[in-house]
Amino acid sequence: MAQVSPARKAAFFILLAVDRGERHSDDLLRAQSLSKLSAVDRNLATALVLGVLRWQIALDAAVRPLLKKPNARLDVEVLIALRLGAFQLLQMDRIPARAAIDESVELVKQAGHRFASGMVNAVLRKLAAGGKKTADATSAYPQWMVERWTQTFGEDTACEVCRLGQAQPVIGVRVADAPVEQELATAGVELVPGSLLSRARIVLAGDITTTSAFREGRTRVQDEGSQLIGEIAGTGTAILDCCAAPGGKTLVLAERNPEARIVACEVSEPRLHALRERLSPLGGRIECRLADATHLPFEAEFDLVLADVPCTGTGTLGRNPEIRHRLVEGDFARQAERQKEILASALRAVLPAGRVAYSTCSLEPEENEQVIAAVLGATASARLTPMQARLEEMEREGILISGAAAKLNQCVTPAGYLRLRPGQFGTDGFFVALIEKM
């Protein structure tokens, strides 16, 4: 039996699991099974999985016309082997065509579809003969998604959002202090400053996850935009993080509020368990509770509530490429209903003169400004607070690097929300609003 390289085999099985909706690619790429591969194989498997998921729609459009029956229903294993081969042939530079084709053929045989192997071989050979063509990034997204972004943001921004979603995002890191940076440098991790925050860095080279600073929680991988939301939320004496797992923003709140009482709620038991584990180095300082944020068991108890609500995640497509394949247009309204309930419940949990920071990693108005408008429209006791003032305060306090408040102020909408487009400052796409309870 011909060999399939460990990287292609791992990528094939991960893509199958993602296609079946069993797990997210992100979880699978971090799973134990992949850690058994060599670094080179792990990198290739990761590039294949993310690349196929990013380009899936364009790959299918290139492959289908080469089938005898372009609309034929294909077994999922056959389809994924074709996508894997097509991705290597059309989008990767240093993969010999022969390896890409032969290993896809072999994957199909090993998956029990021997009868389809001739077809896979013929289709991929035809594709290889056509040579590489530069694909337009918009061809890698559902058409309705591109149309909705064009309508909301205009054509140039929609194209930019699509283009950025096709690239591997930078790895953002949070560093507590200079000694940690020195420690990471000694361990071979090369960092450069982030674009906005004094504690954010970007990894240029090296693997931070293998360092003792990472294992012992003195540094962590966290997108700079995610850190920024935690920083914007700010300070309080009694703080509720009502949708807390996996805890990235809870950790920022804990760093900035060493004396505060902090409660972190999460509705999913497994995610709560993982959150508890992650926060355990803080020695029980943060109370973790299983709670549904749409019906929080608190009444006017906190002076700061962070509602980093569940959302469609359309600001994170570079990191989570499969979102585009799962979303349907009705999802925005469904998410918005839950988001409105969470925001209303967060406002009940906050004390008069306290504030709620509402945030998403979605680009969609239904999940962002329309949620705020609906909830504030239904309550007389809350109002938006100016984002510019908070950003300037953060720069004065040294949380933002010099000049960052002015850059971010360009992203504050006339209504006073901060919206970061993905990649604008090397971050994921985020939306955040500050609301004061009167």
Report the C-alpha gap between 321 and 300 in whole angstroms: 39
243 is in an annotated binding site: yes
31 is in an annotated binding site: no
Q: Are 125 and 98 in contact (CB under 8 A)?
A: no
Q: List the interface residues with ligand SAM, window 257-296 (CB under 6 A).
A: 265-268, 271, 292-294
CB of 271 to ligand SAM, least distance (A): 5
3-state helix, strand, coil split of the chain in percent (to 5) is 55, 15, 30
Cα–Cα separations (whole angstroms), residue 393 to 234, 257, 404: 10, 16, 11
> Does 245 sit near ligand SAM (CB under 6 A)?
yes
Residue number with CB closer to ligand SAM (101 or 420): 420
Residue number with CB closer to ligand SAM (206 or 217): 217
Tokens of 325: 């394949």
- The 10 Å Cβ neighbour count of residue 371 is 29
> Does 363 sit near ligand SAM (CB under 6 A)?
no
Residue 4 DSSP class? -
Degrees (nearest 5) of the Cα angle 428, 253, 269?
80
Q: Is 361 a catalytic residue?
A: yes
Strands 200-205 and 190-193: antiparallel
Query: Contacts with ligand SAM: how many residues (CB under 6 A)?
Result: 18
* Among 243, 327, 394, 420, interactor with ligand SAM by CB under 6 A: 243
Q: Is the peptide bond before 246 cis (omega within 30 degrees of 0)?
A: yes
Strands (E), 194-342: 200-205, 219-221, 238-241, 261-266, 286-290, 302-308
Q: Are 87 and 62 in contact (CB under 8 A)?
A: no
Q: Which residue has the tokens 């999802």?
A: 331
> Does 249 sit near ligand SAM (CB under 6 A)?
yes
258 is in an annotated binding site: no
Q: Interface with ligand SAM by CB under 6 A: which range of 143-151, 213-221, 241-249, 422-430?
A: 241-249
> Does 305 sit near ligand SAM (CB under 6 A)?
no
> Does 169 sit near ligand SAM (CB under 6 A)?
no
CB of 293 to ligand SAM, least distance (A): 3
Give the active site residue among 242, 288, 311, 361: 361
CB of 340 to ligand SAM, least distance (A): 12
CB of 377 to ligand SAM, least distance (A): 22
Closest of 146, 164, 308 to residue 222, by C-alpha: 308
Write the interaction track for ligand SAM spanning residues 218-237; mark x where CB under 6 A is met and - where it is not.
Answer: --------x-----------
CB of 359 to ligand SAM, least distance (A): 8
> Does 197 sit near ligand SAM (CB under 6 A)?
no
Return the active site residues. 361
The footprint of ligand SAM (CB under 6 A) covers: 226, 243-249, 265-268, 271, 292-294, 308, 310
Q: List residues forming the annotated binding site for S-adenosyl-L-methionine.
A: 243-249, 266, 292, 308
